[in-house]
Chains A and B, each alone.
Chain A
């Protein structure tokens, strides 16, 4: 308790609070731009933190990280572009809500859900860091493979209409993710003689193409902005009513933040997977699954609350074991090492005030997101609604081009973005939703690496693939995979039987 009191005393100085405010704001606006990820924001900021003391440097980085993950929801809601990969699932409900004239409600709900998620992540980090770190260490290649397979079972929930097309989309996403140098052996695959393809397809480049380009073409074709139904100045009382709606789904919130926490402590998973799993679980347990894909507030809340848990959640393996679970964490680790801070149990004792000060600053950042997010979100929303489609289409197109280019300063990435966008548009027209393709892209590399490494680990076995099913955790994950496949079939059968009984009665 003394350490916490000292941490609070260190944190609540005007300088540190200003850093939280500025960091969260900067992160929010960077995250709102498609293609500018939290990693990029932190990479730009990192050199400036070297001249700061350890605590203010870490506070600035943590706040930018928190703001950027939340900021990704703005682009997802307003232009169907996941601002960061973590907000992929936010597009599924946020954009339909915006198209139906409920953009402000969606932004408000995303803000409240993100605040709840951010705060839960901080509390979990404060209270449960050691056991969660031990749990994360139990994940080896076979378990990673099954986590990816479990993720791929989400396709059933995301394919909206045809399961067959959803599965095809997932397989296509996995194949696109394979393009480039193989993770084991370093061989070039599917490069078709173009050396530029050796770098592979960046996830965010593919997401921008698949989600943004089809919407742009439809907007150009209809000559109507996507948010044409929105009316400005109708938001009176919206904050209170949306807060009530969000907080009236405690089960959904709790389930989503727990999913976010579990996924985030597994190094290499992250906000995108957490958001997708939480979204799918929300749909699975919903009383109104038919509303999903048409602007369901539940789905939006699930995605946004879980992805913001991952900011503090991914600090569990980082601060306790020195394992960065996601690229932004690696940058924070770099800043810690620059200041002579070594991750581990000692960090919480010898540098307790500093470590807890950093953790608590993320909680303050989550709270600060509420006013900044509501104000900033409204500004961005008003700009998008006021801009006529003739300006909106080229503006969003230039953001898509810049966002794709900025990741690796590569025109090849921009061309890949457009090619995938046109392919995604053609596929969407014949009933392929982009979500399963995105899922395949995200999970493909995790599945392949886990599969091949497990095969290598089992080389001494008579049947090498037995390594995949050996550990109790693998077996538990397999059981979850089976449950994830069987449960929707059983509930669908029960629903049909109930309807049949109802008709005959």
Chain B
């Protein structure tokens, strides 16, 4: 893949995203961000030109199984999203265990007994994390349905 071309397009997309994200700011508040947006846009154009003249060609997302990487990213998103209403403990228990089983299954045969043992380990580990952060470090973690 021509990574310079992809990088240039990504850069231009980000430039446009920031350009249209501007508001009616005072000159002092607008001066610096406007300058940096223009710089990013110019650099993106320069990278696009380079992609035609002297492109860098290399494979992308080649370090491992792409489906597993994508599903892990989705699982992380769902983990964070569910934490708002399910609380830290419940959402972490579910997604921690799911990720453990999913990643382990890529390299070995997973039995029902394995899953049972892992769920117990995960339950203890998440409980320890919850205790350290909530009780020792006084962080108010999302409580979910177990809120007092």
A192 to B23, CA, bound (A): 9
Number of interface residues of A (CB under 8 A): 63
CB interface residues, B 88-133, toward A, < 8 Å: 88, 92, 95-96, 99-104, 106-107, 118, 121-122, 125-126, 129, 133
Closest A residue to B39 by beta carbon equals A171
Flag if B28 contacts A184 (CB, 8 Å). Answer: yes
Give, as a whole number of angstroms, the nearest-CB distance from A219 to chain B.
Answer: 8
Closest Cβ–Cβ distance, residue B121 to chain A (whole Å): 8
The reply to whether B133 and A422 contact each other, CB–CB distance below 8 Å, is: no
Does A199 interact with chain B (Cβ within 8 Å)? no
Evaluate contact between B43 and A178: CB separation under 8 angstroms: no
Contact B23 A218 (CB under 8 A): no
Q: Does A187 contact B (CB under 8 A)?
A: yes
Residues of B close to A168: CB separation below 8 A? 7, 11, 40, 43-44, 47
Decide: B139 and A192 in contact? CB cutoff 8 A.
no
Q: Which of B64, B72, B125 contacts A395 (CB 8 A)?
A: B125
**In the complex, what residues of A have CB within 8 A of residue B3's CB?**
429-431
Is A44 in the interface zone, CB < 8 Å from B? yes
Verify if A92 is at the interface (C-beta below 8 Å from B): no
Using CB atoms, name the residue of chain A closest to B7: A430
Q: Are A429 and B60 in contact (CB under 8 A)?
A: yes
Given contacts A171-B43, A217-B73, A430-B3, contact A394 B95 (CB under 8 A): yes
Decide if B79 touches A178 in the complex (CB within 8 Å). Answer: no
How far apart sit A429 and B47, CA to CA, in the bound complex (Å)?
Answer: 16
A391 within 8 A of B: yes
Q: Pick from B25, B69, B80, B101: contact of A217, CB below 8 A.
A: B69
Let me know if A401 is at the binding interface, CB within 8 A.
yes
A415 on the B face (CB < 8 A)? yes
Contact of A44 among B46, B61, B125, B137 (CB under 8 A): B137
Which B2-17 residues sit within 8 Å CB-CB of chain A?
3-4, 6-7, 10-11, 14
Of A189, A222, A414, which contacts B80 at CB under 8 A?
A414
What range describes how many residues of B lie at the interface? 35 or more
Contact B50 A182 (CB under 8 A): no
Q: Closest chain A residue to B25 by CB distance?
A: A187
Say yes or no: B7 contacts A406, CB within 8 Å: no
What's the least CB distance linking A14 to chain B, in Å?
26
Residues on the B chain within 8 Å of A165, using CB: 7, 47
Chain B residues in 8 Å Cβ range of A65: none
Q: Which of A66-74, A334-342, A450-458 contacts B (4 or more CB under 8 A)?
A: A450-458
What's the dominant secondary structure at chain A's contact region? Answer: helix
Q: Given the complex, which residues of A lie within 8 Å of B88, measured CB to CB?
A: 402
Q: B69 to chain A: which residues have CB within 8 Å?
A: 217-218, 220-221
Contact of A185 among B29, B39, B61 (CB under 8 A): B29
A389-B72 Cα distance, complex, nearest whole Å: 13
Residues of B within 8 A of A405 (CB): 139, 141
Across the interface, do B40 and A171 meet the contact criterion of CB distance under 8 Å? Answer: yes
Query: A430 with B6: in contact, given A175-B18, A393-B103 (CB under 8 Å)?
Result: yes
Of chain B, the residue at the smallest CB distance from A426 is B10
Interface of chain A residues 199 through 229 with chain B (CB within 8 A) = 213, 216-218, 220-223
Residue of A nearest to B1 (CB): A430
Given contacts A189-B25, A398-B129, A430-B10, are A164 and B137 in contact (CB under 8 A)? no
Are the C-beta atoms of A178 and B25 separated by less than 8 Å?
no
Contact B100 A390 (CB under 8 A): yes
**Is there a chain B Cβ closer than 8 Å to A418's Cβ?**
yes
A168 to B66, CA, bound (A): 26
A188 beta carbon closer than 8 Å to chain B: yes
CB distance from A29 to the nearest CB of B (A): 10
The answer on a CB contact under 8 Å between A402 and B80 is no
**Chain A residues, Cβ within 8 Å of B104:** 388, 390
| B32 contacts A by Cβ under 8 Å | yes
Type the 1/0 row for A414-433, where 1 means its CB is closer than 8 Å to any CB of B. Answer: 11001000100111011110
Q: How many Å lie between the Cα of A301 and that of B4 in the bound state?
A: 33
Contact present for B129 and A187 (CB under 8 Å): no
Sample (8) of A-B pairs whose CB atoms are under 8 Å apart:
A44-B138, A167-B39, A185-B28, A397-B76, A402-B133, A405-B141, A425-B73, A451-B31
Which B residues lie at the A interface, using CB under 8 A? 1, 3-4, 6-7, 10-11, 14, 18, 21-23, 25-26, 28-29, 31-33, 36-37, 39-40, 43-44, 46-47, 50, 56, 58, 60-61, 63-66, 68-69, 72-73, 76-77, 79-80, 83-84, 88, 92, 95-96, 99-104, 106-107, 118, 121-122, 125-126, 129, 133, 137-142
